[in-house]
Structure 1
C-alpha cells in the first residue's frame, strides 16, 4: 500500500512539473465543455427575455390578480376566489415570491446581460440588441414599480457583490425608465454590428417599429403621473405620442404562441388547467348598459346557451365553468395574440392628455380613433362598430367628452389581456366604479416573503391599502 501511495505521489509530482510546458490556452480548452458555454449569445438571450416579458410577467399571476382587483374577472376557485372575497391572509407576501424572482433573477438579469454584452462585452457594437433590451428593461421595471412601489434599481442585479440592494424611490425609477427609453431610441439609430432578425419575436429587428414602441411607452409613463403633475405629464405624453404608433395596424403585441402545451397563450392555459376566473358582472354590465357588441362576442355562454357573469365578492365556487361565463374562445385561445401596448391605448392617452390641457377637439378626435381601434382589435365587425359609435352614450361630442368616457372605454378595451393597465388607471382615476361588497381592491402588491427574509432592512414597510407614489404622493 505504501508503495502504491508513493508512485501515486510521484506521478502527481511529475504532472505538476510538466504543467508549465502546457500553454494556458490548452489548459483552458481542457477545462471547458464545448456543449455547455458559460455565456449565452445575444441571439439566444433576446427571444427568451421577449417571451418572458409577454408570457411570464404580463400574462400570468400579476395580470390575473389585477384582473380580479379591477373587476374584469371574478375569482371563482382557489386563491383567486379567496382574494376576490378579501379573505384574511389571502393576499400576503408569499403570493408574489415567484413573480418577484422572475422579474429580478430571470428577466432583468438577462436583459442587463444583453445590454452589457452588446455594448462593451463580447458582442460589443450590437446596438440593435442593446436598444431593444433597454426598452424591455423599462417595460419590466414599469410593471414592478407600478405594482409594488419602491423597488431595487440602481443597486440591483449585482449578484454576489450586493445581495441586499436598496429600494429606489418610485419617482427615481420612473425617471430611470424614461432615460432608458431615450437611450434606446439613440441606440437603435446607431450602426449595429449584429441585428436580431427572426430572433426578435416582435419586429424581426426593425428599429423603426421598436422606436415607436419606445415613444409609445414614454407617453404611457408620462401620462401615469397625472396626479403628480397634471399639465406637465399631459404635455410630455403628447410630445412622445406624436412619435409613437401611427395606425391601428401598429402596436406591441406578442403573436408567437403555439398549440404546443408549453407554447400556448397563458390565459388559455389558465382556463384549461385552473379555470379560476369568470367574467365579472362589473364589466359585463357595462357592456350591456352601453349596448356594446363586445358583450356578445367576448363573453362565452354557459351550458344551456346563456351568459351569466359572476358577482365579485359573492360568487359561488365554479371551477367547472357551469355557473358563470368565461371569456369567449374567440378572445382566449391557444394562439391568441397578447398585447403589451396598442395603438388604441396610445390614442386613449392622447385623448386624456388633451382633455387635461383643455384641447377638447383634439381630445375627442383621439378618443373616437381609440374606441374604433379597440373595437376592431376586439373582433367587432365594422357595421356593429359603426352602430356602437353612433350612440350618444359612447360619442357625446367634443363639448360633452369627460374623463369617465375616456377611461371607461379604455377599461373595456383592456379586456381581457391588459388588466395591469386597467388596474393602474383605476388607482389613478377611480374609474370605473367597482362593486365588490367586500371593499375596495388593494392599492399595491405586497413585497415577497423571500425578499423580506433575505433583505428585510431594505424592504419598505407598507400595507396593501397604501398607494404608490404616483397614486398618493408618498414614497413609503
Structure 2
C-alpha cells in the first residue's frame, strides 16, 4: 500500500504543480534526495504525514478511542480490539513517518537554508516538530539527536522523551523566528496545507507549542507552565484555519484510509460503531452523531460494546463510520474525507485548558463553547444552542480545576470523533478523560489494562543495536506516568 501511495504522489504532482513534468522527465534518479528541489520534497513530506495520520493512526486511534470497534461479520482488526497487535503492525507507520516524512523534511531544511528560502525552512521545521512529537508520543523514547543523518549514522541512539520535548520547543522557537508573511519566496501550491500562507503557519506553530506545553501538564507542571506562558497574546488557529489535506475521488488520490480498505481489504467493511461513543451522543441528543456515523435502515444509530464482536448474535444491522470519516468503504464519498492534522476546535479546547490551569489569560468558558461550536460548524450541524444549554454540557464554572479539565477533554474527544482519532487517544492517555471508557470485551492483556503505547517494529529492534527493549503495550510513556 505504501508503494502505491508514493506512486500516487507523482500523479498528484503532475496534477497540481505546473513544473512537475519537467522535474519527472530529467535524466536523474527521482529517488535521490540530492536531486529533488524543495518544492517537491515539501508536498511529499506532507503527503506522507497525511498518509500516516489518516490511515494507520486513524484506524488504531479510532478503535482505541472507542469510536469504532471490530464488526462481528469480519475479522481484520480483531488484534486491535484484543489489545494485542503484532509489532509488525506498527512498521509501516514508523517507516512512513521516520524514513519518508522526516527525511524529506530534513532535506527541505538543509536545502532551503543554503538557498536562503527561509519560509520553506520555517514550514519544514514546524512540521519536523509536529511529526517528531507524534512519533515520541506514540513510542516514547525514539532517535532524535542522531536521527536523519542517513548513511552517516544508521544506528542512532534513542533519546529520552523528556529530552526530546526540550528539543521540540527549541526547534519550534527557531522556526517561529523565521516566519515572515511578507517574504515573496514563500511556497505556493507546493504547500498542500496552507498554500504558503505564513500567517496561518504562525498560528499553527503557536497552537502546536501550546499542545506541547500541555502534554507535560501532568508530569512536569512547572515546565509545562513555562512553555505555555510564552504564548500569552499570541494568535492560535482560528475557525477557518484547520490544518488538513484534502483528497478527491481519483484512484491514488483518495482519503488514505478509504483507499486502504477499498483496495487492500477488497472492500470488506470491518468497522462498526462503538457503544461507548454512540451512547454518549444519544444521551445528550448530540446531532453530530449524523456527521460521524451512518444510520441503520430505521434511521437510528446502532452500536455494540467495545470488542464484543464474538458475543453479538443479533442479525440487526449496525451503524458504520460515516463517509465524512473516510472509513466507510460502502460509501464512495469516503474517498473525499480530508485528513485533519490540527483543527480550530482543538485549538479552542487547548486554550480553554491553559486558561483553567492559570497559564494563559482568557475566558475558559467562552473558549470551551467556541470549541464545541466550531465542531458543529465544521460538519454543518445545527442544534448547537440546544445542545450547549443542557446542564451536563454547560461549562462547570463553579467546579474544581480537575472538573473543568475533565469537561473540556471529554468534549474535545467528542469533537474529534472519526477525524482526529490518534490525538483523541493520546489526550485520553494524558488525562484519563473521558473517564467512561470500558475495557474491550476481547482484551487478552489482563484486567484493568488498556493500550498506552505503540510497540517498536521488529525491523527497528533487529537492525539498530541502540534500540531499547520492547515495551509492553500497556506501559505508559514518560509524560503519562
Q: TM-score, normalised by structure 1?
A: 0.84
Cα distance, 1:317 vs. partner? 9.8
Cα distance, 1:361 vs. partner? 7.6
Matched, 1:227 2:218: yes
Q: What is the aligned length?
A: 429
Distance in 2 (CA, whole Å) between partners of 1:426 and 1:265 is: 25
Which stretch has the larger CA shift, 243-252 or 135-144?
A: 243-252
- Tell me which of 403, 413, 419 is aligned to 1:417: 419
Change (3 A) 1:262 1:358: closer
Cα distance, 1:157 vs. partner? 1.6
Cα distance, 1:92 vs. partner? 2.8
Distance in 1 (CA, whole Å) between partners of 2:361 and 2:102 is: 40
- Equivalent residues of 2:237, 2:347 under 8 A apart: no
State how 1:43-58 maps to structure 2 within 5 Å: 43-54=39-50, 56-58=51-53
- Tell me which of 262, 273, 278 is aligned to 2:252: 262
Deviations 1:190-210 (A, max 9, x none): 985833111111222111111
Deviations 1:262-288 (A, max 9, x none): 111123335543422222110111101
Q: Secondary structure of the equivalent of 1:284?
A: helix
Q: Secondary structure of the equivalent of 2:347?
A: helix
Change (3 A) 1:322 1:125: farther
Structure 2 unaligned runs (5+)?
Answer: 1-25, 327-333
Structure 1 unaligned runs (5+)?
Answer: 1-32
Cα distance, 1:459 vs. partner? 2.5
Q: Secondary structure of the equivalent of 1:197?
A: coil
Q: Paired residue for 1:3?
A: none
Q: Paired residue for 2:455?
A: 446
Q: Secondary structure of the equivalent of 1:302?
A: coil
- Equivalent residues of 1:152, 1:168 under 8 A apart: yes
Q: Paired residue for 2:392?
A: 393
State how 1:179-328 maps to structure 2 within 5 Å: 179-189=170-180, 194-230=185-221, 232-234=223-225, 236-237=227-228, 239-240=230-231, 242-245=233-236, 247-255=238-246, 257-270=247-260, 272=262, 273-303=267-297, 305-316=299-310, 323-328=317-322
Change (3 A) 1:150 1:274: farther
- Tell me which of 99, 104, 110 is aligned to 1:116: 110
Which stretch has the larger CA shift, 299-308 or 364-373?
A: 299-308
Deviations 1:294-339 (A, max 9, x none): 1234211234544211321212499xx9732112235542222222
Q: Paired residue for 1:356?
A: 357
- Equivalent residues of 1:348, 1:410 under 8 A apart: yes
Q: Paired residue for 2:80?
A: 83
Distance in 1 (CA, whole Å) between partners of 2:360 and 2:197 is: 34
**Structure showing greater Rg:** 1
Q: TM-score, normalised by structure 2?
A: 0.83
The alignment's C-alpha RMSD in Å is 2.5
Change (3 A) 1:231 1:372: farther
Distance in 1 (CA, whole Å) between partners of 2:233 and 2:348 is: 10
